[in-house]
Amino acid sequence: MGVEIVKRKLPALKDLYNGDLELKSGQNDINILVNQPPKSDWIKEHPFAKGVKYIPIGRIEFLLTRLFLRWRVEVKVIQLIANACVVTVRLYYQNIENDEWSWQDGIGAAPLQTDTGAGAIEFDKIKSSAVMMSAPAAESYAVKDAAEKIGKIFGKDLNRRDEILYDTLIGIIPEEKISLSQFGYAEELVRKSTLDEEQKEEAYAELARTDLAMAEFVAIKNKLLDAQPKKY
C-alpha cells in the first residue's frame, strides 16, 4: 500500500491575516506570498529614530507560526563589542512543500546602558541592569533580522532597521531618555506576557509613542513585569 500524500492549500493574502490557514505544496506560491508587503497597520514608526519603520517581534512570530509548519531559534553567538551586546541567531523554519527544514541567520545589537558621559569601554560605568535589558533586545533584533531575509512580508524592505538604530542612538542618548536597550527589553516583555492580543496591541502602541516620557515608560514596564508568566 502506498503512502498517501496530503496536499496543503496555500491561503490568499487576506487569509494569512484572518482565519485559519491551510497549506499546500508549491514553493513558488509561498515565495510569492512571503514577498508581499507587510500589513500596513502592523508597521510602526520607531519612537527614537525619525523615519525608521519596524514590525514588532510579536507580529514576526505570528507570521512565522502562520506560514510554516514549525520554527525555532538557535542562539549561535553572544558577544560584547564596545558597549553593545551583539547576538547572532539561526532561525529554522520547516518547509511546507517537503517538510524539510530551512534556515536564515540574523544578527542584532543593543547598547549597554552606561552612566552619562562614560566611554564605550568603561565597563565600571555600566549600569547593573544593562545586560538583562540589552541581551534580550539584541536577540529580538537578531530574530527579526533573520526573518527579514525570508521575504518582504517580514519587513525586508522597510529599513536596515537594527543598523540604523544602533548607529544613530549609541553614545547620544541622554540618561533621562529611553534607550534602545530599554525599548527592546519592554518589547520582549510584551511578547512574553500573559496579556491577550488586544492588550498586547495597546502595549505596543504605547511603547511606540514618540512623546513617551521616562516615567510613563517605567510604569508600562512595571505593569508588563507583573504580567509575565509565573514561575513555580
CATH number at residue 164: 3.30.390
More confident residue, 83 or 4: 83
pLDDT at 167 over 50: no
What is the grid cell recorded at 30?
Answer: 509561498
Q: What percent of the chain has pLDDT over 90?
A: 16
Q: Is residue 23 part of a domain?
A: yes
> Could you read off the pLDDT of 105-156 as tens digits, one per residue?
999 988 887 666 655 556 666 676 777 888 888 999 899 999 999 988 898 8
Tell me whether residue 98 is in a domain: yes
Burial class (CB in 10 A: 0-12, 13-18, 19+), 25: middle
Q: Tell me whether residue 225 is in a domain.
A: no
> According to the model, what pLDDT value does residue 129 have?
74
The H or E element that residue 141 is part of is helix 130-148
> Is 36 within a domain?
yes
Per-residue pLDDT at 143:
94
Average pLDDT (1-29) is 55
Residue 52 lies in a domain: yes
Asked if residue 95 belongs to a domain, the reply is yes
Structural domain boundaries enclosing 118: 13-175
Domain count, the chain: 1
Whether residue 24 contacts residue 115, with contact meaning beta carbons closer than 8 Å, is answered with no
Q: 193-225 burial, b if ≥16 CB within 10 A, otherwise e? A: bebeeeebbebbebbbeeebeeeebeebbeebe
Domain-located, residue 195: no
